[in-house]
Each structure stands twice: as C-alpha cells, then as structure tokens.
Amino acid sequence: MTRRTTTSLTTLAATGFLASMAAAQGFNDAAPNGAAYDQKPAFEGQTRAPMLDSTGLQQQVLVEGLEHPWGLQELPDGNWLITERPGRMRIYTTDGTLSEPIQGLPEVDARDQGGLHDVSVADDFADTRRVWWTYAEPRGDGTNATAVATGILSEDGTTMDDVQRIWQQQPAWASTKHFGARIVHDGKGHIFVGLGERSDPEPRQYAQDPQATLGKIIRINATDGTPAGAGIEGALPEIWSIGHRNIQGAAMGPDGQLWMNEHGPKGGDELNAVDGGLNYGWPLATYGTDYSGAQMGATQVEGTEQPVYYWDPSPAISGMAFYDGDMFPDWHGDALIGGLRSGDIIRLELDGTTVTGEARLAQGIGRVREVEVAQDGALVVITDEENGRLVRLTPEG
C-alpha cells in the first residue's frame, strides 16, 4: 500500500470567510443567459428557488494528489473505491492509506473528458465483491464510446478478476466529450446508466434517435448486460428514456424515483425525475444557449418533459446523492449535487418533485465531481482537478 494521504481541518475563520463571501456574492446574482431571448420557466419554482441558509461545514482532507478523480463508492467496511480518469482505480482505507492502482482494468481513452468514470457496487458486495464501472472505450480510428464493465475485486483489493465488458454505446464517435456515464442500481438486479450525446452537432441529433444510445438512459441486467429498457416502440431494447445531453449525476430517491442531472450548454443545467419511456427534450428543448450566445431550440416542445429544476447560468452540476444520515437531520430527503464550475455542493430542499429551496455549501472547495453520504452521515466528496482531493465534511464545531 502507498501512503499518499493528508489529514487537515479548515479553521472556523476560513469557513466563516467563505460563508460571508458566498452571502456577499449571492449565487443568484448573475443574470440568466436566456434573458436575451426572453426565456421564462414553465412553472413557479423551476429555477432560482428561494435561497436557504448555508450550513457551516468543517472540511477534512483525507487524500490529495489524485489525478482527476471521477467516481466514488463507499464499501461495507468503510473503505472507499475511487476512480481516476487516466484509468486507475484505487482504495482509500479506514486506516488512512491509499492503495496502488487495482490491476486488471481494461484500456481507456483518456483524452480530454474521456477515461475511467463512475464506479458502483450493489448491496451484496460483502458477499459477491462485484464491482461495476463505466469508461470511454477506444474503438479504433480515433473513435470511442462509453462502455460498462463488471468484475470481482480480489479479497486483498489488488486485482479485478473475471472482468467482462457487458455493454457498449452505439454508435462510436470521434469525440473526446460528453460520455455521461453515471450508474444507478434499481435494487432488482438491473442498472441504469446515463449517457452523453458526444457534444458535436452531428452526433447530438442521435439523442432523439431511438436506434442509437447517444443521449439516452439505458437499463440493463447488471450481471450480463441483457436489455431491460422501457419497451419504447421502435427503440433499442435497453433504452429507458431519450433526449439527454450529458448526464453527470444520478441517484435513486428515497421513494424509489430515479433522478439524473445533466449539463446544458451555456445555461440550462437540468435536474430530472426520470420515468421510463419519456423524452427529455435535447436538443429540441433546452433552457440553455449556444456557447456563441446564439439561441438553441425552444424551452417547451410538445411531447417532451420539462426538467424539475434548471440553472442559468450553469454551475456545471455533477455527482448526486440524497441525504439519509444522522449528522444533518434537517436535510433528510434533500438532494446534494456537486458543482464543478461553481466549486461547491448544492443542497436542494424537495417536496416530492418540487424544489422548494437551494443552498450552496462549502463554497471554494474546488470542482466537486461526486458527492456521497458516508455510513456515519458525513459528506464525502472528490474534487476533479490535477491535484484532486478526497474530502470529508461534517457539521461546523
């Protein structure tokens, strides 16, 4: 095992400075990009929900020196699986050590946004030691696509055995962006995977094509990848929903509702409560504008679903969890979402599928790629940077 860890606590003074800076700047102060085209929400509370009081958080850096970490998963013994985009998976242990890279993983295409992405285990990991992960798979001639693989983690945590790629996105494309790639278990032997549409104008159109898996959510058998989609007429059998741009966060809600969030273009980051067989609009419908400033699509298109919530300007939302711990009892059922561009944790207060309030926590912490709730109720996040960190957050004081 290689020891590459640090343990440090932010001072209360620093925490207070960040909180005062957040209050002074106000995350809703900037004008929406869509104002140039008179964009308006479809219903009250769809964007810019009332600001909640920010909770002071104490930060403990558990590990630093990670290279663009992307996926994070707690194991039953309290250890953490961490992926790094260049293609490494490691274990951070409860005794404060970070392992050497786990051997046996497939090759990844780690250009730009590509590489090793999400990692997940099912509730029976203690018995099966089975792990799932998503990655940008090289497919020849400069093309690539998201793939899903599974394997058995050796008892000593050094090797991934019996590795199988169980699913491939189609078609492959010569792009280094918008792989998506979050995994959610449905508790019934299947996994949902949220997929990007590869960014470029040409493949972007495939998000509306039922015979392609770009810009889709799929559901497959977790063991062998057998399709288990929503049964959409004329669609590939694994497709659950269509019309997504670049899914970056996903979680199962306390009531069993599937939630996924996705990047919009310039503005228009979305939070969706996803149901099978529905069309979530991209690229026909969006609250974002083109990076050039030009208008893109309409905000409401017949036959497509509205997001539960959207942001404009975009915080570049990422990993997602629902709070169910004991350290922050007032947060039960709230959604916690990483902010890459905003460099914080976004807490959304929910009433069913209605957002009733928004807070920004730990402002300035860095590009939060993933948020998890530890078994003891603490928040644990990774920051997606050259010198990425694993950070534990607990109540101030």
> Which residues are CB-neighbours of 49 under 8 A, at least 6 positions away?
309, 348, 349, 355, 356, 357, 358
What is the CA angle 96-97-103, rounded to 5? 150
185 is annotated as an active-site residue: no
Residue type for position 192: F
Q: Which of 178, 190, 244, 263 is catalytic?
A: 178
Distance CA 119, CA 109 (A): 17
Q: Tell me if residue 207 falls in helix, strand or coil.
A: helix
| The residue to which tokens 């026909």 are assigned | 284
Question: Facing residues of 58 across strands?
Answer: 394
- The token duo for 368 is 């939060």
Distance CA 361, CA 110 (A): 30
Taking the CA atoms of residue 239, residue 240, residue 245 and residue 250 in that order, the dihedral angle to the nearest 10 degrees is -130
Cβ neighbours around 13 below 10 Å, total: 8
Backbone phi and psi for residue 203, each to the nearest 5 degrees, phi listed first: -65, -25
**Residues 147, 134 contacting (CB under 8 angstroms):** yes
Of the candidates 391, 382, 389, 375, the one whose C-alpha atom is nearest the C-alpha of residue 79 is: 375
Residue type for position 35: A
Residue 186 burial (C-beta neighbours within 10 Å; 0-12, 13-18, 19+): middle
Give the catalytic positions in this structure. 178
